[in-house]
Amino acid sequence: MQCSIEVNNQVEIYDINKVAKQAAGAVLLRVKNTVILATVAREDTQVTEDFLPLTVQYIEKQYAAGRIPGGYIKRETKPGDFETLTSRIIDRSLRPLFPKGYAYPTQIVVMVLSSDPEVDLQVAALNAASVALYLSDIPVNRAVCGVRVGYIDNKFIINPSNSELKKSALDLYVAGVNDELLMIEMRSLPNEQNEIVPVIAIDPMIDPSLNEGFVARQNMNEFSEDLMVDAIKFAGEAILKGSMAYEEAFSHHKKEDANLEFKPEIENENIALYIDEFYKEDVKLAINQMAKSERASELTKIAKQIAASEVAVQEGWDENTISNILGKYKKKIVRTQIIEESRRADGRGLKEVRPITIETNILPSAHGSCLFTRGQTQALVVTTLGTDSDAQMNELLTEKGATADKFMFNYNFPGFSVGEASPLKAPGRRELGHGNLAKRALYPSVDLNSPYSLRVVSEILESNGSSSMASVCGGSLSLRAAGVETIKLVAGVAMGLIFEGDKHAVLTDIMGLEDHDGDMDFKVAGSMDGITALQMDIKLGGISLEVLKEALYQAKEGREHILKIMQRANDEIVINEEVLPKLELFSVDPSKIVDIIGQAGKTIKEIIEKFEVSIDLDREKGEVKIAGGQKGKVEAAKDYIIQITQKEPRGGGFKGKRDNRNVTPFNVGDEFEGEVKKVATFGVFISLRDGVDGLLHISKMSSPLNEGDKVKVKVSELKGGKISLDLN
């Protein structure tokens, strides 16, 4: 059966009972030329552990875009970052829908079989997975809807195409059901309409027209809390329409709920009563221990004491069951203490941020480093500068060719950070997700036209809540410590939410205990002027717009507090100048590129070997990029190249830019009355003689000059083929 739904700016065509009929639920979704298969399968036996055993796998088939996988093995292998992150989005959106006590191993598989370059695969994948789950025999009776919101020309757009999204200042992905929000991912995007200004001459003695195209972003897109609430409200209205449309279209095709058993919230009420009667104060004392390890150790001791008691022996209570119920009892105490007493386990108020210490450039051989410590969470964040060849290459189904990513963020979470002796493994979904969040937060603050590739790595050394936000804070300062002139400092703070009946509490800077026992994990990052990225997950049910707004404004207070501390640390940064690589970017006459290369590449090879640098040339623009580990050698290579492009006359002396063998050399102190030929923001070019121009910098001008003006000048400096002038 085929069902066509027109909702939220796109037509979705679903095939039901056509493919994968042995799965618990399956649909084939088509949006334009994109075709996605979503399936749901479950086991009949519950797991013994107390958790929801849900796995989600989003897979992109290369044939969907008419490609054969690259590399030695010509088939799809491990998932790429985009696939992993999309799997997480689907998981986080659908997990809250499962009923309490559901413990049957369940797998959702989403496969992209055909790809349209204009269709948003993440939106289509979530909606396909949601419909497949809704149609299955699993007792999930509400349909999730995912939407993306763009912001173009000061207007919100629902589900923009991929080309439209490139023009947007906002990328907001929201999933929800009916009027409840379940998951939010947001990032601000660099906007082509942003105010841009020309970079003042990479080499001021070269014709400024050769430097056209080099622009620096002087501002960054940030969103105020009010505008974010408006955007999320806009998304919520679309989600309500989508959810209602799905339920109306598919409610008659849904399979009958399977007869399943659910685990009780507390498996043994007698143990819970025993703990409440005899160990309540001991549990409270354990909860309010400052150290995470001390708290866990104390709770373990309590479980052992109960297991060794005469009552436990007589009743046959085993230690595992006691520990399980003790954990649930502990959760109840934590939540009640916060709601009723506004007191947290470590003694903080609801809005209080843990103590912060910051050290920068503690690694003498690294380009930039920052040790950011907040409470018992500690991140060592390191920045490395590279060249274009160091950029990360990515292949996406919706892009024609490989794309180069010059800003990378890697997040590592070793077991010792939480006191575990676990083996070091390749980054998993959590590591990739946290790294992606930190990257999205910092990306707007980085100059997109920087000649450097930037890799930021966060090594989590200690963790007790919100290590991703510590990575954002440390990352922003590590960039500054590496001499990268970011537009603004960016900080992040993790918020928590506790619901008990008709009461709720918003927590600033949550620790691990509050994350584990709370109902919401809400991370907000940005500058003093607004939000650059946020991420929200709801564990049970949804969240109203009013509560979300309260959390956003409380997060703003926490973020501003952290940024003030970061600014003080920024003012004390001492840059490791001696270890920073040097990169020179300048332009020459495009016709001179062949002279730099030399016959069969001989000249450029000699330069590379002599000065120990790498050189990139752009024949069309006349752009020269030199990179090396030592500043002196890079500058020497630049001077050498400039000499090649500006022939020296026989007999020595400085000749200028033009080839004229009868030119008399210029000397410092020579005086001229010249005409202003060109006006630039940094000064004016004045004709001297024999077709040679000199630069009078704006700092040496007593009043503005225009083209054609006559002015008396004298030569003040001759260097690297350049003539600098003073007023005479």
Residue 30 pairs in a beta bridge with: 13, 35
Domains located in the chain, CATH noted: 2-188+219-253 (3.30.230.70), 269-341 (1.10.10), 356-571 (3.30.230.70), 654-728 (2.40.50.140)
Residues annotated within the binding site are 515, 521
pLDDT at residue 154 in the model:
92
Confidence of residue 212 (pLDDT cuts 50, 70, 90): very low
pLDDT at residue 293 in the model:
65
pLDDT at residue 546 in the model:
87
* The three-state (H, E, C) secondary structure of 124-192, written as one string: HHHHHHHHHHHHCCCCCCCCCEEEEEEEECCEEEECCCHHHHCCCCEEEEEEEECCEEEEEEEEECCCC
pLDDT at residue 29 in the model:
98
Average pLDDT across the chain, whole number: 87
Look at residue 555 and tell me whether its pLDDT is greater than 60. Answer: yes
CA distances from 32 to 116, 120, 246, 553, 617 (A): 7, 11, 18, 40, 41
Lowest-confidence region among 10-19, 386-395, 645-654? 645-654
pLDDT at residue 722 in the model:
76
Look at residue 148 and tell me whether its pLDDT is greater than 60. Answer: yes
Lowest-confidence region among 221-225, 275-279, 398-402, 623-627? 398-402
pLDDT tens digits along 223-245: 999 999 999 999 999 999 999 99
* The three-state (H, E, C) secondary structure of 37-97, written as one string: EEEEEECCCCCCCCCCCEEEEEEECHHHHCCCCCCCCCCCCCCCHHHHHHHHHHHHHHHHH
Confidence of residue 48 (pLDDT cuts 50, 70, 90): confident
Confidence of residue 680 (pLDDT cuts 50, 70, 90): confident
User: Which has more pLDDT, 15 or 690?
Assistant: 15
Cβ contact 397:387 at 8 Å: no
| DSSP 3-state of 535 | strand
Report d(CA 38, CA 403) in Å as an integer: 28
86: number of Cβ within 10 Å: 23
Strands (E), 582-727: 582-587, 613-618, 623-628, 671-680, 683-689, 692-697, 710-719, 722-727
Nearest to 486 by CA among 477, 494, 495, 498: 477
Confidence of residue 654 (pLDDT cuts 50, 70, 90): very low
pLDDT at residue 195 in the model:
35
Lowest-confidence region among 69-83, 235-249, 355-369, 635-649? 635-649
Look at residue 248 and tell me whether its pLDDT is greater than 90. Answer: yes
Look at residue 587 and tell me whether its pLDDT is greater than 50. Answer: yes
Confidence of residue 500 (pLDDT cuts 50, 70, 90): confident
Look at residue 214 and tell me whether its pLDDT is greater than 50. Answer: no
Indicate the length of the chain as a whole number.
728
Cβ contact 534:540 at 8 Å: no
Dihedral angle sign, alpha carbons of residues 371, 372, 378, 383: negative
Confidence of residue 199 (pLDDT cuts 50, 70, 90): very low
19: number of Cβ within 10 Å: 13
pLDDT at residue 541 in the model:
66
Both tokens of 152, joined, read: 């173009």
Report d(CA 462, CA 374) in Å as an integer: 10
Q: Where are the alpha helices (DSSP H) in 417-505?
A: 429-442, 467-481
Confidence of residue 702 (pLDDT cuts 50, 70, 90): confident
Both tokens of 547, joined, read: 């509560």
User: Which has more pLDDT, 287 or 167?
Assistant: 167
Quick check: pTM over 0.85?
Answer: no
Q: What is the dihedral of CA 78, 84, 88, 91, to 10 degrees?
A: -40
Cβ contact 485:469 at 8 Å: no
Mean pLDDT of 330-355: 90
Cβ contact 529:488 at 8 Å: yes
Cβ contact 58:502 at 8 Å: no
User: Which has more pLDDT, 177 or 194?
Assistant: 177
Encoded amino acid at 32, one letter: K
315: number of Cβ within 10 Å: 12
Residue 408 pairs in a beta bridge with: 455
User: Which has more pLDDT, 555 or 390?
Assistant: 555
Encoded amino acid at 8, one letter: N
Look at residue 664 and tell me whether its pLDDT is greater than 70. Answer: no
pLDDT tens digits along 7-42: 998 999 999 999 999 999 999 999 999 999 999 999
| Residue located via tokens 């120990």 | 612
Mean pLDDT of 542-555: 88
pLDDT at residue 267 in the model:
67
pLDDT tens digits along 412-466: 999 999 888 989 888 999 999 999 999 999 999 998 778 889 999 999 999 998 8
Confidence of residue 291 (pLDDT cuts 50, 70, 90): low
Mean pLDDT of 596-610: 89
Which H or E run contains 506? Answer: strand 503-508
Confidence of residue 211 (pLDDT cuts 50, 70, 90): very low
CA distances from 577 to 108, 457, 510 (A): 51, 20, 37
pLDDT at residue 720 in the model:
59
Residues annotated within the binding site for Mg(2+) are 515, 521
Question: For strand 106-114 and strand 54-60, is the pairing parallel, antiparallel, or unpaired?
Answer: parallel
Dihedral angle sign, alpha carbons of residues 175, 180, 182, 183: positive
Both tokens of 433, joined, read: 């997700």
Considering only the C-alpha atoms of the chain, give the largest distance between any 2 of them, rounded to a whole number of Å.
112
Look at residue 545 and tell me whether its pLDDT is greater than 90. Answer: no
pLDDT at residue 327 in the model:
87
C-alpha Rg value of the chain to the nearest Å: 31
Which H or E run contains 5? Answer: strand 2-7
320: number of Cβ within 10 Å: 11
| Residue located via tokens 């509560």 | 547
Cβ contact 280:273 at 8 Å: no
- Residues 6+ away with beta carbon under 8 Å from 404: 388, 391, 392, 393, 394
User: Which has more pLDDT, 472 or 299?
Assistant: 472
Mean pLDDT of 547-551: 91
User: Which has more pLDDT, 286 or 482?
Assistant: 482
Lowest-confidence region among 330-334, 356-360, 382-386, 678-682? 678-682
CA distances from 503 to 34, 183, 263, 521, 537 (A): 45, 21, 26, 18, 19
User: Which has more pLDDT, 689 or 626?
Assistant: 626
52: number of Cβ within 10 Å: 17
Residue 419 pairs in a beta bridge with: none
Look at residue 405 and tell me whether its pLDDT is greater than 70. Answer: yes
Mean pLDDT of 545-567: 95
pLDDT at residue 698 in the model:
81
Report d(CA 406, CA 599) in Å as an integer: 32
- The proportion of the chain whose per-residue pLDDT surpasses 90, expressed as a percent, equals 52
Strands (E), 348-476: 356-360, 368-374, 377-386, 392-394, 403-405, 407-412, 453-462
